[in-house]
C-alpha cells in the first residue's frame, strides 16, 4: 500500500491527496523511479492545471524524457514511451492471473469520477479517450500525433496490470482477432414494407399497360 510521504498515512488507490494531512504525493515516481530534472518549465501545458509541464529524465538505458506536472503529478508520454517504460519496469511475467487483475481494477475503480475531455499539452486539440489494452481498467487521453496523458496513479495501475499478465492477455486477444477470417455481411432481408411497395408498383404497371391498350383500340 502506498503511504503519504509527509505523515505516512495510507493513501486511497489512484488518489494522491492525503485525507489526513492534505499533502499531495507523487505516487508514480517517488520511491519507484529515480529521475533528474531536465527542464523546469517546458512549452507543453498541463491539461488539468494549465501550467507549464516539467521535463524529467528517467534514465532508462540512456536519456528518457517525459513531461510531468509538479502540481497534479500527471504524466505526458510521447507515442511509444509508455510501452517502453512498462517493458523496462515490469519483466518476467509468464502467466495471466485473472483474479489478481480483477482485484486491481476493483480496488482502483473510481465510479465517482466525472468524464471530461482534455486538451493535448502540445497542440491544444481535445484528445480522444480510450482503454489502454484489454481489461487494464485505465482510460487514457490520447492525441494521435503527440502522445498520451496519464493522471496521477495511472502508470502505477498499468504496471500492476502488466504484472498480473494483462499485457499478455491483451496480446493474445489481438492475435485471436487477427487470425479470425472476416465474416461476410449478412444478406439484407426485405421488409414487409418493401414487399408491399413492390407489389403496388407491379399493380400500377399492369393498370398502365391495360389503359394504354384501351386507348389504342379507340384511337
* Spans of the chain, pLDDT less than 70: 1, 13-16, 26-32, 111, 182-219
pLDDT at 139: 92
Residue 2 in any domain: the answer is: no
Q: Helices 81-89 and 154-163: crossing angle, nearest 10°?
A: 50
Identify any residues that bridge with 68 across adjacent strands, giving them in sequence order. 54, 75
Residue 78 in any domain: the answer is: yes
- The number of domains in the chain is 1
Q: Helices 154-163 and 166-179: crossing angle, nearest 10°?
A: 70
Residue 26 in any domain: the answer is: no
pLDDT tens-place string over residues 123-170:
999 999 999 988 888 999 999 999 999 999 899 889 889 888 988 898
C-beta separation of 56 from 34 below 8 A: no
Query: Which domain range does residue 80 map to?
Result: 36-174
Average pLDDT of every residue of the chain? 81
Residue 109 in any domain: the answer is: yes
pLDDT at 204: 47
3-state SS string for 103-158: HHHHHHCCCCCCCCCCECCCCCCECEEEECCCCCCCEEEEECCCEEEECCCHHHHH
Residue 101 in any domain: the answer is: yes
| Beta-strand relationship, 36-39 and 54-57 | antiparallel
pLDDT at 207: 45
C-beta separation of 146 from 138 below 8 A: no
The grid coordinates listed for 186 are 449478412
137/111 Cα distance (integer angstroms) = 12
The grid coordinates listed for 202 are 407491379
Residue 6 in any domain: the answer is: no
pTM: 0.70
Residue 9 in any domain: the answer is: no
Residue 202 in any domain: the answer is: no
pLDDT at 5: 75
pLDDT at 27: 58
DSSP state of 44: -
Amino acid at each position: 500500500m502506498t503511504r503519504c510521504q509527509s505523515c505516512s498515512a495510507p493513501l486511497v488507490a489512484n488518489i494522491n491527496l492525503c485525507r489526513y494531512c492534505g499533502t499531495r504525493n507523487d505516487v508514480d515516481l517517488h520511491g519507484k523511479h529515480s529521475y533528474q530534472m531536465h527542464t523546469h518549465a517546458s512549452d507543453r501545458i498541463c491539461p488539468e492545471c494549465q501550467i507549464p509541464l516539467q521535463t524529467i529524465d528517467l534514465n532508462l538505458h540512456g536519456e528518457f524524457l517525459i513531461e510531468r506536472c509538479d502540481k497534479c503529478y500527471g504524466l505526458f508520454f510521447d507515442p511509444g514511451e509508455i510501452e517502453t517504460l512498462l517493458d523496462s519496469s515490469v519483466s518476467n511475467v509468464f502467466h495471466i492471473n485473472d483474479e489478481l487483475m480483477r482485484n486491481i481494477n476493483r480496488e482502483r475503480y473510481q465510479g465517482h469520477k466525472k468524464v471530461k475531455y482534455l486538451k493535448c499539452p502540445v497542440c491544444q486539440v481535445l484528445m480522444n479517450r480510450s482503454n489502454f489494452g484489454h481489461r487494464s481498467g485505465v482510460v487514457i487521453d490520447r492525441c494521435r500525433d503527440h502522445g498520451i496523458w496519464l493522471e496521477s496513479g495511472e502508470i502505477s495501475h498499468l504496471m500492476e496490470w502488466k504484472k498480473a499478465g494483462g499485457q499478455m492477455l491483451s496480446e493474445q486477444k489481438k492475435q485471436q482477432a487477427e487470425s479470425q477470417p472476416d465474416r461476410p455481411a449478412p444478406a439484407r432481408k426485405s421488409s414487409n414494407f418493401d414487399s408491399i411497395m413492390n407489389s403496388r408498383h407491379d399493380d400500377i404497371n399492369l393498370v398502365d399497360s391495360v389503359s394504354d391498350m384501351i386507348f389504342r383500340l379507340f384511337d
